[in-house]
Chain A
Amino acid sequence: MDCYTANWNPLGEEAFYRKFELYAMEWSLKEDLRDCLVAAAPYGGPIALLKNSGRKEKSPSARPLLEIYSASGLLLASIPWKSGQLVHLGWTASEDLLCIQEDGTVLIYNLFCEFKRHFSMGNEVLQNHVLEAKVFHTEYGTGVAILTGAHRFSLTTNIDDLKLRRMPEVPGLQKPPSCWAVLSQDRVTIVLLAVGQDLYLLDNTSCSVVTPPGMSPAAGAYLRMAVSFNYRCLALFTDTGYIWMGLSTLKEKLCEFNSSIRSPPKQMVWCMRPRSRQRAVVVAWDRQLMVAGNSTECIQFVLDEDSYLVPELDGVRILSRTSHEFLHEIPEASQEIFKIASMAPGALLLEAQKEYEKESQKADEYLREIKDQKLLPEAVSQCIEAAGYEHEPETQKSLLRAASFGKCFIDKFPPESFVRMCQDLRVLNAIRDYQIGIPLTFTQYKRLTIEVLLDRLVLRRLYPLAIRICEYLRLSEIQGVSRILAHWACYKVQQKDKSDEEVAHAINQKLGDTPGISYSEIAARAYDCGRTELAIKLLEYEPRSGEQVPLLLKMKRSKLALSKAIESGDTDLVYTVVLHLKNELNRGTFFMTLQNQPVALSLYRQFCKHQERKTLKDLYNQDDNHQELGNFHVHSSYSEQRIEGRVGALQNAVDAYYKAKNEFAAKATEDQIKLLRLQRHLQEDFDKPYLDLSLHDTVSNLILDGHHKRAEQLYREFKIPDKRYWWLKISALATRGDWEEMEKFSKSKKSPIGYLGPGPSGRRCHRAQERERDELRPVQVHRQHRRGRGGEAEPGQSPAPEEVTPALGAAPPGPASTDGAWPRAGDLHHRRRAWCRARACAAVMLPWGRHGGPGWGGWRAPLPLRSPLIKCRAAASLCPGAKLPP
Chain B
Amino acid sequence: MSPLDRIANVSILKQHEVDKLYKVENRPTSSTSDQFCFLVRPRIKTMKYIADIINADKMAGRSRKYKIIFSPQKFYACEMVLEEEGVFGDVSCDEWSFYLLPLDDDIISMELPEFFRDYFLEGDHRWINCVARALQLLNSLYGPFSKAYGIGRCAKMSYELWRDLEEESESDSQGRKPEIGNIFLMDRDTDYVTALCSQVVYEGLVDDTFRIKCGSVDFGPDVTSSDKSIKVLLNSQDKVFSQIRNEHFSSVFGFLSQKSRNLQAQYDRRRGMDIKQMKNFVSQELKGLKQEHRLLSLHIGACESIMKKKTKQDFQEMIKTEHSLLEGFDIRESTSFIEEHIDRQVSPIESLRLMCLLSITENGLIPKDYRSLKTQYLQSYGPEHLLTFHNLKRIGLLTEQSPGETLTAVESKVSKLVTDRAAGKITDAFNSLARKSNFRGISKKLGLIPRVDGEYDLKMPRDMAYVFSGAYIPLSCKIIEQVLERKSWLGLEEVLRLLNGNEFSVTESAGEDSPAWESQRIILTVFLGGCTFSEIAALRFLGKEKGYKFIFLTTAITNSARMMEAMIETKA
Contact = CB atoms under 8 A, between A and B. Distances in A.
A507 to B, nearest CB: 20
B376 to A, nearest CB: 7
Interface stretch (B210-218, B270-278, B313-321): B313-321
Interface string A825-865: 00000000000000000000111011111111111111101
A598 B81 contact: no
A13 B167 CA distance: 62
B98 interface: no
B569 interface: yes
Contacts of A569: 125, 128-129, 132, 157, 160-161
A692 to B, nearest CB: 7
B449 interface: yes
B509 interface: no
Interface string A571-595: 1111110010000000000000000
B317 A867 contact: yes
A855 B75 contact: no
A692 B80 contact: no
Interface residues of B, number: 88
B562 interface: no
Contacts of A339: none
A859 B314 CA distance: 12
Interface centre among B45, B122, B371, B383 (most CB of A within 10 A): B383
Interface in A471-497: 478
Interface stretch (B7-15, B327-335, B512-520): B327-335
Interface stretch (B100-108, B238-246, B338-346, B475-483): B338-346
B253 interface: yes
A611 interface: yes
Interface stretch (B25-33, B220-228, B406-414, B451-459): B451-459
Interface in B294-315: 307, 311-315
26 contacts: A478-B170, A516-B170, A570-B129, A572-B76, A574-B125, A576-B76, A602-B122, A606-B118, A606-B124, A607-B77, A611-B48, A664-B375, A668-B375, A694-B378, A694-B380, A695-B379, A718-B379, A854-B452, A855-B327, A855-B469, A857-B250, A857-B456, A857-B458, A859-B315, A860-B458, A862-B253
Given A571-B124, A606-B77, A856-B471, 11 more contacts: A544-B164, A571-B128, A572-B75, A668-B378, A694-B378, A694-B381, A724-B379, A727-B343, A850-B320, A856-B320, A867-B316
B44 A853 contact: no
A335 interface: no
A666 B19 CA distance: 53
A857 B382 CA distance: 35
B128 A606 contact: no
B123 interface: yes
Interface in B459-501: 465, 469-472
Interface in A710-753: 718, 720-721, 723-724, 727-728
A498 interface: no
Interface stretch (A172-180, A319-327, A669-677): A669-677
Interface centre among A579, A635, A852, A856 (most CB of B within 10 A): A856
Given A696-B345, A850-B320, A720 B76 contact: no
B458 A571 contact: no
Given A634-B384, A694-B381, A859 B316 contact: yes
B233 to A, nearest CB: 26
A668 B315 CA distance: 31
Given A638-B572, A855-B323, A846 B340 contact: yes
Minimum-distance CB pairs A-B, first 5 = A857-B469, A571-B126, A602-B123, A867-B316, A855-B471
B320 A847 contact: no
Contacts of A692: 382
A866 interface: yes
B470 to A, nearest CB: 5
Contacts of B125: 569, 571, 574, 599, 603
A812 interface: yes
Interface residues of A, number: 76
Interface string A661-691: 0001100110110010000000000000000
B320 A812 contact: yes
Contacts of A859: 249-250, 315-316, 319
Interface of A: 478, 515-516, 543-544, 567, 569-576, 579, 598-599, 602-603, 605-607, 610-611, 627, 631, 634-635, 638, 664-665, 668-669, 671-672, 675, 692-696, 718, 720-721, 723-724, 727-728, 812, 845-847, 849-863, 865-868, 870-871, 873-874, 884
Nearest to B429: A598
Contact of A638 (B375, B376, B470, B571): B571
A671 B126 CA distance: 38
A571 B48 contact: no
A574 B80 CA distance: 13
Contacts of B132: 569
A634 to B, nearest CB: 6
A664 B76 contact: no
Contacts of A610: 44-45, 48, 81
A668 B383 contact: yes
Contacts of A861: 250, 253-254
Interface string B113-152: 0000010001111101100100000000000000000000
A850 B324 contact: yes
Contacts of A635: 387, 569
Contacts of B382: 692-694
B376 A544 contact: no
Contacts of B458: 857, 860
A668 B386 contact: yes
Contacts of A598: 123, 425, 428-429
Interface string B403-439: 0000000000000000001000100110000000000
Interface string B367-411: 000010011101111111011001000000000000000000000
B250 A727 contact: no
B379 A696 contact: yes
